[in-house]
């Protein structure tokens, strides 16, 4: 089976900055992008993965993601919630969220465990997902329109060395991308580095824990899979004046929705 895992907040943020169609712009762009990804990857089962609170990471480091600026836009949150409501109730897709984990951890669980024998594509611009890449799991960057490549080294170790400014993960002071690459390509060099700089080991170990995906139990997740209701889905689009969806393109939409709703 071809499984598509959507990093929903990542895609919704991209939709926010796409072309402006007036009211409900972000929702319109989100669904337009979503269908394009479903078709491109010929998905048979689609998960919309929502974001929970990174409880474990914050316990490790209270400053985790502390430099990110909150979007002060109530309409953005309302549109996302409204779109998720349509997905949960009418779409035939699967909505999933762990209240106390990031969506990254949920996606890792789905890719590695839940669908361990399926072909999986993760749709996100988040480079953390590179650690999932193998013969079965691919990561598609919807912004660059290409798949991420699997590196020849341990990605978690590499990123723990250089740090991750976007998540406020400090890494090892003075180590950039080139030095990190040299160190992870040579276990002896890495060992020698920390023998000379033992004071850096603690920050390295913390960064590894923050970057690596955390295990979770599916029973702790909120999961909603609706039966496809084409009439109510079309009505939802119509009420938001998504004319280009409910017009000549609607047969294509119904074909897409029917295909993904026929798989469990």
- Domains in the chain, start-ordered, CATH in brackets? 2-150+214-261 (3.40.50.1010), 155-211 (no CATH)
| Residue 23 binned pLDDT confidence (cut-offs 50, 70, 90) | confident
Give the separation between CA 164 and CA 168, rounded to whole angstroms.
6
Q: Give me the residue label for tokens 């169609």.
A: 21
Q: What's the mean per-residue pLDDT of the chain?
A: 94
Mean pLDDT of 205-215: 96
Each residue's pLDDT tens digit, 123-176: 999 999 999 999 999 999 999 999 999 999 999 999 999 999 899 999 999 999
pLDDT exceeds cutoff 60 at 52 = yes
- In the chain, % of residues over pLDDT 70: 96
Mean pLDDT of 110-116: 97
42-56, 65-79, 207-221: segment of lowest average pLDDT = 65-79
| Reported pTM | 0.94
Measure Cα distances from 46 to 2, 51, 95, 152 in Å. 9, 16, 9, 30
């Amino acid at each position: 089976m071809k499984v598509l895992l959507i990093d929903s907040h990542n895609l919704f943020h991209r939709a926010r900055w796409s072309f402006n169609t007036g009211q409900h712009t972000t929702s319109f762009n989100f669904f337009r992008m979503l269908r394009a990804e479903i078709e491109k990857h010929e998905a048979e089962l689609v998960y919309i993965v929502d974001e929970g609170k990174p409880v474990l990471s914050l316990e490790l480091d209270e400053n985790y993601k502390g430099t990110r600026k909150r979007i002060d836009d109530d309409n953005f949150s309302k549109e996302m919630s409204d779109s998720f409501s349509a997905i949960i109730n009418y779409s035939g897709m699967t909505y999933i969220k762990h209240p106390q984990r990031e969506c990254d951890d949920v996606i890792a669980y789905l890719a590695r465990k839940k669908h361990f024998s399926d072909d999986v594509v993760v749709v996100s611009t988040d480079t953390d997902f590179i650690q999932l890449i193998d013969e079965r799991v691919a990561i598609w960057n919807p912004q660059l329109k290409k798949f991420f490549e699997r590196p020849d080294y341990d990605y978690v170790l590499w990123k723990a060395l250089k740090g991750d400014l976007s998540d406020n993960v400090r890494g090892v002071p003075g180590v950039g991308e080139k030095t990190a690459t040299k160190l992870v390509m040579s276990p002896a060099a890495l060992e020698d580095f920390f023998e000379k700089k033992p004071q850096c080991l603690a920050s390295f170990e913390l960064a590894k824990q923050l970057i690596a995906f955390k295990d979770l139990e599916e029973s702790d997740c909120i999961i909603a899979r609706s039966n496809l209701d084409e009439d109510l889905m079309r009505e939802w689009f119509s009420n938001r004046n998504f004319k280009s969806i409910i017009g000549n393109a609607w047969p294509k939409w119904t074909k897409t929705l029917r295909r993904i709703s026929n798989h469990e």
